Amino acid sequence: MKNLIGIDKEKANALSDKLNYLLADYQLFYQNLRGLHWNIKGKEFFELHLKFEELYDDAVIKVDEIAERILTLGGEPLHTFSDYLKASVIDEEKGITNGRTGVEIIVKNFSVLIQKEREILSLAAGADDEGTVSQMSDYITETEKTLWMLNAYLR
């Protein structure tokens, strides 16, 4: 049986579940970025304050896109912080003021996100879900470049 957009309902449900886990991780990632943006101190304040804002602006867009993809597939996006905390692999970060530590946390968080994006990409390809494939492919491309840049910063 197929859903409204022509994808097998069971496969769409499995994709929605995986996307909800990604959504939860993006929400924790977003909140971590906000905390880093607000609390960063030191010589690198100005450059990192702006970078963290750029990253959280991007993350909040992805949160909305992921939730909308879940709805498109016929699922229901998680929408409470209690659900996000249960579903997320990314940990909450608190009280981080050191720039290098903040960038290391972001790299760690992006590593979780890209792994999940690759899993979803593979699952979506098997479901002939071009919309999710395209979305994850775009996210992976962006994340790879950002990880390269952040790792260059840490060297």
pLDDT at 69: 98
H runs (alpha helix) in 1-129:
9-39, 45-72, 81-87, 99-126
Domain ranges of the chain: 9-154
Superfamily of domain 9-154: Ferritin, core subunit, four-helix bundle (1.20.1260.10)
Q: How many residues does the structure list for the chain?
A: 155
**pLDDT tens figures, 125-135:** 999 999 999 99
Count CB-CB contacts under 10 A for residue 47: 12
**pLDDT tens figures, 94-127:** 999 999 999 999 999 999 999 999 999 999 999 9
Under the banding of pLDDT at 50, 70 and 90, the label for residue 146 is: very high
Distance between CA atoms of residues 110 and 90, nearest Å: 9
pLDDT at 47: 96
DSSP state of 25: H
pLDDT at 42: 96
